[in-house]
Structure formats: C-alpha cells, structure tokens
Amino acid sequence: MDDSLLFNNFAKHISLTKAEEKYLKTLFEYKVFKSKEFLIQQGEISKQSAFVLNGCLRGYTIDSNGFEHVLSFAPKDWWIADMYSLLSQKPGNLNIEAMVDTEVALISKTNQDKMYEKVPKLERFFRIIIEKSLVAYQQRLNDNLSLTAQERYMKFCKTYPQLINDIPQKQIAAYIGVTPEFLSKLRAKQARTK
C-alpha cells in the first residue's frame, strides 16, 4: 500500500532519516475498511490511532435519545483516534466508521509509546498535531456558543469545500448540531435568496 502520504505528513513538522522511516514503517499496520465498517465502536477500549491514506472516516457519538453527533470527519491526510479511550484505557463513547472504502495506516498505543522512546522527535510531531487539533476544537466550541445554525453551516462550507459534495447532508447536520430537516430548510432559504 502506498504510504507516501503518511511520510509527507510527518515531513510537514519534522525531518526523518531513511533509517527512521524504515523503522517507523514496521510500527504501522495497513488496512482497508469497507464502507460502513467500524474501526472502533463505543464501549470498546481503543488500542490504536489511525491515519487516513485514502477515503474518509467519521468519528461520532450516539446520545441517550439515539441521535448521532459527528465530532470529526477524517478525509485523506488526517489523523483520528478516540483520544479519551486511548489515553485512559477505559471504554470510549466514540464510533469511528468508514464513510466509503478507506485505506488507513494504524499504529497501536504500544507501538506509539515505543516510537516515542526510539525517535523522540516524534514526540514533537504529535505535540504539534495535537496542538492544532486543540485549536480547531476550541474554535468549533466557540462557534457553537456564538453562531447561529446558518452561520455554522456557511462556515462548514468554507472550511470543508471538498467534503460538501461528497458526504450526506444529514452528516453535516450532525456535525454543525442541527436536525437534517432544519438544515434542509436553511439550504432552501439560502437558495431562494441567492
């Protein structure tokens, strides 16, 4: 499987020697998930982080009324994990599911810890990745506190132009925090006034 995307991703923040790359390759497992297959499901203890080589994943929770809430989409070149479960080694409440057939590079928690010992600069790499992720979640929380549904939808369209046409509208609704019916209404209104 072609993992050049993974190593280009590393190269964005640190530079690895050929030897380090070779060592790293041994720590990852490459796998294809069919559309609608789960990488993990709520209630399980998460054992690995995933990097998307191709396709798209989504991380979502299901609340006590059975409604889904999308915490993140992971198109190609993105990292995704149930950080809560992975760190605490307690059962998580995140489902990570393939939205289409998806190629991923997986690294187990054990191997990730080994990796930090052997190649400490990866500690920096993941610090930076996580910092960026933190900023994005802070921003999104702030948007949920301060913007209307309409504004959140417009922002989503601007931020993820490539996803808009590729993923079902109800998933976007579950991401911005409205019902599919209301998003449909918003879009109809937007189309009318354009």
Partner DNA sequence: ATCATTTCTTAATCTAGGTTAAGTATTTTC
Partner DNA sequence: GAAAATACTTAACCTAGATTAAGAAATGAT
Pick from 1, 11, 134, 157: which binds a copy of itself (CB under 8 A)?
134
Select from 81, 104, 99, 111 the least CA-distant residue to 31: 104
Check binding of 130 to a copy of itself (CB under 8 A): yes
Q: Least Å distance between CB 87 and a copy of itself?
A: 6
Per-residue interface string for the shown chain with DNA, residues 75-114, x marking contact by CB under 7 A: ----------------------------------------
Helix/strand/coil for 105: strand
| Residue 110 CA from chain centroid, whole number | 21
Residue 52 or 152: the one with the smaller Cβ distance to a copy of itself is: 152
Checking phi first, is residue 64 left (phi over 0); if not, alpha (psi -120 to 50) or beta? alpha
Listed ranges 13-21, 127-135, 153-161, 179-187: which one lies at the site for a copy of itself (CB under 8 A): 127-135
Q: Least Å distance between CB 128 and a copy of itself?
A: 8
| Residue 184 CA from chain centroid, whole number | 25
Q: Least Å distance between CB 1 and DNA?
A: 23
Two structure tokens written together for 176? 């911005």
What is the separation, in whole angstroms, between the first and last Cα of the chain?
45
In the beta sheet, which residues pair with residue 69? Answer: 61
Q: Where are the alpha helices (DSSP H) in the chain?
A: 4-11, 18-27, 83-88, 109-118, 121-146, 149-159, 161-164, 169-176, 180-192
Per-residue interface string for the shown chain with DNA, residues 142-181, x marking contact by CB under 7 A: ------xxx-----------------xxx------xxxxx
Interface residues with a copy of itself (CB under 8 A) are 61, 63-64, 67, 69, 71, 83-84, 87, 93, 116, 120, 123-124, 126-127, 130-135, 137-142, 144-147, 177
